[in-house]
Amino acid sequence: MLPSYLTMAAILFCIGLYGALVKRNAIIVLLSIELMLNAVNLNLVAFSKYGVVPSLTGQVFALFTITVAAAEAAVGVAVLIALFRARGTVNMDEFDEMRR
C-alpha cells in the first residue's frame, strides 16, 4: 500500500511545485503551495500507518501541519490583499520588490 500513497503524494507535490513556480496568478500560487503541503501531510499519514514503525505521532504531526498551513494561508492571503490594494494587480511577474 505504501508505494501507491507515496506515488500519489509525489504526483501531488510535483503539481503543486509546478504551479508555484510557473503560474502568473498569485492566488493560484498560494493554492499550489497548499497542494504541496497536503502532499507532505499525505506522506506523514502514510508512514505512520504503513511505515516500518507504525505510530500515532505521524498523524498528530499531520494535524499540526494542517493548523500551521491554515495560519500560513491566512497570512498569505492577507499579504496578497495588501499587495493588491497597493499595486492593483495579482500578477506575479509584477512583484519584483525584492530586487531593490
Binding site for another protein (CB under 8 A): 17, 20-22, 29, 92-93, 95-100
30 or 44: whose CB is closer to another protein?
A: 30
- Closest separation between CB of residue 22 and another protein, Å? 7
27 or 63: whose CB is closer to another protein?
A: 27
- Closest separation between CB of residue 74 and another protein, Å? 19
85 or 100: whose CB is closer to another protein?
A: 100
Distance CA 98, CA 64 (A): 31
Three cell numbers written together for 23 = 503560474
85 or 99: whose CB is closer to another protein?
A: 99
- Closest separation between CB of residue 95 and another protein, Å? 7
CA-angle at 38, arms to 33 and 40, nearest 5°: 100
Three cell numbers written together for 73 = 494561508
Shortest CA distance to 97 belongs to which of 86, 28, 77, 69?
Answer: 86
- Closest separation between CB of residue 16 and another protein, Å? 12
CA torsion, ordered 31, 33, 73, 69, to nearest 10 deg: 130
